[in-house]
Structure 1
């Protein structure tokens, strides 16, 4: 209806819409505040509790509705302090201990305070192991009992300290050992452990675990390091009406309390049936017994529980698929998940087929559940066989652009790729966590672009471009660091999720794929998965397999040395062209490069990129491959001398290279007039981003870039380009690169262009793009 208004009416409507939107937001905010339940009173810090803390906490449990448990209990005095597991400790422990196995049971209670559990850990102590330093990691509320090889540890032993449960030396032996720990853990609100959430729409409670990087020990006592892979069995007791999900399938249907199957499961897991059932205060209980998992890292195991709704596909191709596929969500958003579920199932099935072929390795697990979870502060987590996604990804009544929908689907493809790279084969330590994420980033875009059945999705490399420029932006800061870094302890592992590990790392893999070719990638990955299935590796193992594949395929470049130059030094290179022409012919074409000033040890790097030669219609007539040297700052492309000159030269065409590329002046003049004539949206988007990068380094002025944007945006219809222009580039140019006295006029101009030349012209048909443009108008109006 806005499209039918006059210009003046349009302005009034826009202002009214802005006021109404603000009022609605304020009302929603204050309403939510008034309905928010009062938080429980803060408990005193651990070191402020009196000596009889354990007894007092038992009383607290009794008064909170949970019956008193007749255990003396161990409490960690350092529970509220920050502690870490150091890399050197982890290396020692994995050397001392092998053959780990877990039998885990949970009583997942309502109320959001705490839950009970018992874990039986079996392991072998190797010859020469330090028996005086054997422990599991645990940051829980209390340990109610500890039994080592059939002997109960007495109350006077200081076994639970500094987030660790130590096993007395005299109770251990070289060879097989078995430890049983009865524990109480707290639910968390920060997605670091077992997260508890109350849905404000219907007051239903939902639980889900999030353990990466090293938070599994906040859920249950365990060896919380990735290289101590183990099989797991799990018994989850939950209130009737809830479902429980985990890595594996159920070994039998859910069993109600009071049934023979229920008693059988509790007995199998060595639980006191009366004690665990009584924790639910007379409420009916259901038992979910899961089968034994393959050997996986502890951070990849999971528990999800609550009244989640099951969504199944009506597509026969999914129903009969080789891997059982299911989707779950909370009740209050189920109708929206139903609306989009078939697209999710399609992307899942097509990606499993694509990765199986690319890796020459079939899907390695029994099933794949995908769960939309609430209140999640990350995007997704690749739990083995049970991936979780933030449920903000589900489209409700709001408009999702096609670009955004493809970005969300790419997240699905990213997490599914981890089932091979990260889950089947896992890094030994957090040093190589970046490789997990970079690899998944790159292959997920490759999958979105190439997978059979996903042909209608065309934005893969446009979205990847955002990752590349994110990495490039971070790489030009003083805080840049090498892609591969030394993670000295578990807390530091949380700090490496940045533009370098995701954006630059994925760009390096993109360059590897382009430089050495698809066959090197495919042959190397096949042998890599064959050798290390259900094991742990280091970066050097991955590189060795790619290097062997390159040698097998007669490629001369030393892949291992080439990799070192990319991964072990920080910073990027700056690349530009010096071009001279006469009578329509090229007389000089020199490639210049130098290391950017940021980045310790920055150096020249060998890479391949492409240059597109555009004609005066901005059509690519020729694509030239350029290979840089790690020793030469300047070199001439003599093969181009005497060739027909281009109307414009598109440096780093298709974004295979990774560097701070600069556009030559002739091409810049052509783009000022005809950038919108370039046929590929990703090429237009890339050129805008290169220009913005040149602006930040002072190679062009803010006024010049803003003029290009104002001239070319009138005819732009691609939502990815429009998003970059109106949400990022134009606001940043006006705010930081235009003199303040012109600030208001610039915003006025943008407002007028959108209104007069874009929206009222009727050239934009997509509603989500119109919505984005209206947002840009509101921003300019403010």
Structure 2
């Protein structure tokens, strides 16, 4: 049979044979630091007698396999990470005993040792197909099953599963030897959990270790009391303890909002949230046991953008309990049904049920900006993406699946009406609870409640790739009265699809107090290549005509000439944060498309930052400013531009309110430059506590940010980095130190970082990420020139020898980071990348996609840089 990269065809074939699976899984976590024992009993029905199928399993050793009471030779039936099952009966029972490996890469069952106290923490991460790294399983989403888990672990640990604990008893050393012929270690207990409801295997979870814990309850809308818990490493207990009440409150607001909005109460027995170390994702929606990366625990001062993001993530994962967990896609082509919906709903809930009422501005600048970037790459795909195998799935956890999908759902709500939309969602959840569904199932319910035929809408919005550009054209008479307005819609040549848009047009004008406020708003429908907006004819032209006011649709925007001129000098005066975000995103999009000068964008952004208080908008603007100054400016003017930005950021930080979020973000951004003559003095003063910036708290993370910044300018030595780490040796600080060592702009540092990322198998996934990001984080194009050939000659080896997530970290397709030497001459990178692609036409789609994205990033840099070179001549 084919290999472990399950294809859609194989999954459909297996689902046509296998039904009604039930699992009893026993894990022994006391076998040492490398492996754990896994025993599973699977019962299932087969559609026809004598059929053949297979279980998925990735194990270091399969000890025994028994099918319907007959022992099978593991050497014969365990092939290519599959256990082959032949001669199936109408009802079958399979027993598998194996030794499986703990992970250091965040996949399967990850084992982490906290260097601050030596404590061991375990957690699982199974999306996409990694339950098979822990137990033998039919690892595909449409073979839902019930699961009975038991876990043997040290008695001092806490062990958590999807369900409440049924019993926790001391292990009898004499009677608990088990199939693997080794008794558990002394001083252990066996945790046995209640049977799960019907669920997909990728949503099962086990966490174990001496986690700190807090508990509360939620009075569920169906009359049940739902136990709730928060968990983290002991070393992070003081930091999380400060936020426990807040996080419980946010979660409970989410329970209430979702139950009210969909008319379906929370469906599961409990709700635990656990923060885990060295996580390779943001979070994971395991039923009743959500895992989060513990960078969401803030030991040091966090920006509002980070706090806001944590709220969104908490509510995103909670939304999955209904959409994705209760009702699950049949195959990964409908992954967007999970992620787009959770992204849309978490933003809506954050904006309407928490203090973060401007979260749609956060979504516009952050998530939608992510979507626009990825939607303009050659690797763009429909929201409903074609998924042929598991690797296709892994590369589709992207800005299109999450953010474009969420933005299009916002457009769908505007198109069908909010009440009709959520009634359709209610019907969908009720009809398909505890089972699997497809896009067609969802559209059927929405058509029934809205009365709209969504077939064509779905085709152009969900099943076609690419993005439209909406360009405004406005004519006025001598008195400023609008005589004509049209909106032109265009599409890229590769994806010539024009879409219907329901959008708003906002009028904004300067007020007597100096602010700029909205004075009128119109909702219109546009379709086709050009739409005349007759509703505006005869009205006095305002200072700014903002198409897509309130951000109802998904498109690139081009303001009319007069509006563009106005916002260049006055956007900082606009009161509405979402309106500012919409304009800022449009200005950035023009800059990266090479139709707006980089220097103009720098001037505009520094001016706008002076009054920006929306934290995520500021974070995103600072990121765009950095890319523009470092990568898009003309070579001759770049040193001057970098100095202007560095000095401008320091000036803005100095003028900001002491201790404010704005001051913190501006200072963090300033540390990314090092291009003014006072940089080292400013940085050293921060470390010494003598900085002229009042209110700055130089806590742990700020100290490491300063040291990293000094190292990036070759102003911090190895001994200084080591001395800082020796003050407090923690998981996080080891990662900071790794990045600081790697970021130094020297041949020796880059060679070291390259070797560590590729060949040090003792590093965790997070440490590899730090080394790789540090490698690409600073240095001249000459320093990186030798790594062009090294990178492309290493790609095949990385793909063959690393797990998917580590390969993605190293090859890192979309932005600065990874071992792609993006700071080298972009022309040379494009040439080398095109050669690799020409020579690897048959390479896996996921791998080719990473390289295509790398090459396109360099091609855009070259194109935009050439545009600005032309302006500088």
The reply on whether 1:643 has 2:557 as its aligned counterpart is no
Which 5+ residue runs of structure 1 have no aligned equivalent?
Answer: 1-77, 264-271, 552-556
Deviations 1:476-529, CA, capped at 9 Å, x for gaps: 222211111221122321111111111211111111112211112111111111
Aligned-residue offset at 1:176 = 1.7
- SS of residue in 2 equivalent to 1:603: coil
Cα distance change of structure 1 residues 202 and 564 upon mapping to structure 2, 3 Å threshold: same
Unaligned 5+ segments in structure 2 are: 676-873
Q: State which of 615, 620, 626 in structure 1 corresponds to 2:518.
A: 620
Residue in 2 that maps onto 1:541: 441
Distance 1:561 1:424, change over 3 A: same
Partner SS state of residue 715, structure 1: coil
1:612-650 deviation per Cα after TM superposition (whole angstroms, max 9, x unaligned): 111233211111212111xx3112112221112111111
- Equivalent of residue 513 in structure 1, options 410, 413, 435: 413
TM-score normalized with structure 1 length: 0.82
1:610 aligns with 2:525: no
> SS of 1:564's equivalent?
helix
Larger radius of gyration: 1
Question: Where do 1:440-479 residues align within 5 Å?
Answer: 440-451=342-353, 454-455=354-355, 457-479=357-379
Deviation of the 1:610 alpha carbon: 1.3
SS in 1 for 2:415: helix
1:444-481 Cα distance to aligned partner (Å, 9 max, x none): 00011112xx2355435423531112111211222211
SS at match of 1:296: coil
Matched with 1:587 is 483
8 Å contact from structure 1 (residues 100, 124) kept in 2: yes
The equivalent position to 1:748 in structure 2, one of 643, 649, 653, is 643
SS of equivalent to 1:224: coil
Distance 1:471 1:407 in 2: 17
- 1:495 counterpart = 2:395: yes
Whether 2:334 is the aligned partner of 1:432: answer yes
Alpha-carbon spacing, 1:281–1:448, altered in 2? closer, same or farther (3 Å): closer
Indicate yes or no: 2:243 matched with 1:340: yes
Relative to the length of structure 2, the TM-score reads 0.74
Which of 653, 662, 677 aligns to 2:549? It is 653
Aligned to 1:237: 152
Q: Alpha-carbon deviations, 1:667-699, whole Å to 9, x = none? A: 111112211110022322321221110122233
Matched, 1:707 2:584: no
Distance 1:759 1:375 in 2: 32
Distance, in Å, in 2 between the alignment partners of 1:340 and 1:510 is: 31
* Pair 1:369-2:264 in alignment: no
* Cross-structure match for 1:770: 663
**Cα separation, 2, equivalents of 1:316 and 1:634:** 53
> What residue is the counterpart of 2:116 in the other structure?
201
Question: 454, 458, 462: which is aligned to 1:567?
Answer: 462
Relative distance call for 1:651 and 1:438 in structure 2 (3 A) is: same
Question: Deviations 1:688-712 (Å, cap 9, x if unpaired)?
Answer: 2211101222332222222222333
Superposed displacement of residue 83, structure 1:
2.4
Looking at structure 1, the residues matched to 249 and 389 of structure 2 have their Cα atoms a distance apart, in angstroms, of: 40
Give distance in 2, aligned partners of 1:712 and 1:138.
55
| Length, aligned pairs only | 669
Q: Distance in 1 between matches of 2:185 and 2:486?
A: 81
Tell me: CA distance 1:321–1:755, structure 2 relative to 1, closer, same or farther (3 Å). farther
- The 10-residue stretch of structure 1 (191-200 or 220-229) with the greater mean CA deviation from structure 2: 191-200
Alignment match, 1:403: 305
| SS, match of residue 644 in structure 1 | coil
364, 380, 400: which one pairs with 2:283? Answer: 380
The aligned counterpart of 1:665 is 561
CA shift for structure 1 position 777: 2.8
* Equivalent position SS for 2:248: helix
Q: 1:282 to 1:324 in 2, by over 3 A?
A: closer
Which residue does 1:139 correspond to in 2? Answer: 58
Preserved contact between residue 283 and residue 313 of structure 2 (Cα < 8 Å): yes
Alpha-carbon displacement from aligned partner over 1:283-304 (angstroms, at most 9, x marks no partner):
2110101010000000001111
**Aligned equivalents of 1:704 and 1:543: distance in 2?**
45
On the 8 A contact 1:310/1:327 being kept in 2, the answer is: yes
Counterparts of 1:776 and 1:226, CA distance in 2: 42
Q: Paired residue for 1:108? A: 29
Runs of 4+ in 1 over 6 A off after TM superposition: 314-318
Tell me, in whole angstroms, the C-alpha distance in 2 between the residues paired with 1:765 and 1:685. Answer: 25
**What is the CA distance between 1:665 and its match in structure 2?**
0.9
Partner of residue 780, structure 2: none
Answering whether residue 143 of structure 2 is matched by residue 228 of structure 1, we say yes
CA offsets, 1:90-130, max 9 Å, x none? Answer: 1121111211111111111253311112111111112x36x
Q: CA deviation at 1:338?
A: 0.8
SS at match of 2:465: coil
Alignment check: 8 A CA contact 1:613 1:648 kept: yes
Q: Cα 1:624–1:164, aligned 2, differ >3 Å: closer, same or farther? A: same
Are 1:160 and 2:75 an aligned pair? Answer: no
**Structure 1 Cα separation of the partners of residues 183 and 502 of structure 2:** 63
Q: Quick one: structure 1 residues 765 and 315, their matched pair in 2 at CA, closer, same or farther if it must change by over 3 Å?
A: farther
